[in-house]
């Protein structure tokens, strides 16, 4: 007997998939433990109603696989070919259909429009398609009334006023 993870993916994502790609998933009822596996099968036909294609992943460590079938899980196939700039969703502000971040540059705040890509709900991150570059610093969790061009003063960690100053985060891949 062997346990496996069965899932579906939208047919328009098939070009991103290859047998053997790493898969990470969490199973409801097993806490936050992330299980790892590899993509073992990609069905040759999409479901005629949903246009989803079934995938099967094998567990890397069969000893960690649950001994109960039929459990609900969420997973993702990891791509090693694509690099993207990502930020925590809390860094991104929305105004109507637009999105922006507060960038720290030259000792000042700058309101910078960004184009968003895919969201990773599990990690709480969003891909930044345009508007920022690798290494740009942005406010991690902007609150209150911020003004474009306002002066920014860095305070050393542990200093008394540190809690009153918004923290920054660095855009990363």
pLDDT for res 164: 40
Q: What is the predicted pLDDT for the residue at 113? A: 95
Which range among 15-19, 32-36, 165-169 has the greatest average pLDDT?
15-19
* C-beta atoms surrounding 3 within 10 Å: 16
Could you give the domains of the chain? Answer: 4-77 (2.40.30.170), 85-170 (2.40.420.20)
Pair type for strands 35-42 and 22-27: antiparallel
Residue 34 above 60 pLDDT? yes
Phi, psi of 16 (to 5 degrees): -90, -5
Q: Residues near 32 by Cβ (< 8 Å), separated by ≥ 6?
A: 26
pLDDT at 163 over 50: no
Higher pLDDT: 140 or 68? It is 140
């Amino acid at each position: 007997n062997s346990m496996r993870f069965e899932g579906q993916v939208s047919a328009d994502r098939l070009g991103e998939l290859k047998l053997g790609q790493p898969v990470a998933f969490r199973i409801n009822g097993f806490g936050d433990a992330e299980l790892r596996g590899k993509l073992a099968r990609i069905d040759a036909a999409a479901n005629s109603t949903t246009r989803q294609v079934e995938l099967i992943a094998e567990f890397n460590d069969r000893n960690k696989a649950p001994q109960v079938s039929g459990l609900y899980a969420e997973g993702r196939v990891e791509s090693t070919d694509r690099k993207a700039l990502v930020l925590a969703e809390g860094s991104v502000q929305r105004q109507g259909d637009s999105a922006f971040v507060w960038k720290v540059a030259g000792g000042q705040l700058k309101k910078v429009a960004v184009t968003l890509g895919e969201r990773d709900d599990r990690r709480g991150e969003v891909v930044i398609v345009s508007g920022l570059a690798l290494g740009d610093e942005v406010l991690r969790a902007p609150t209150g009334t911020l003004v474009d061009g306002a002066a920014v003063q860095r305070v050393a960690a542990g200093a008394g006023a540190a809690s009153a100053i918004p923290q920054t985060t660095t855009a990363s891949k």
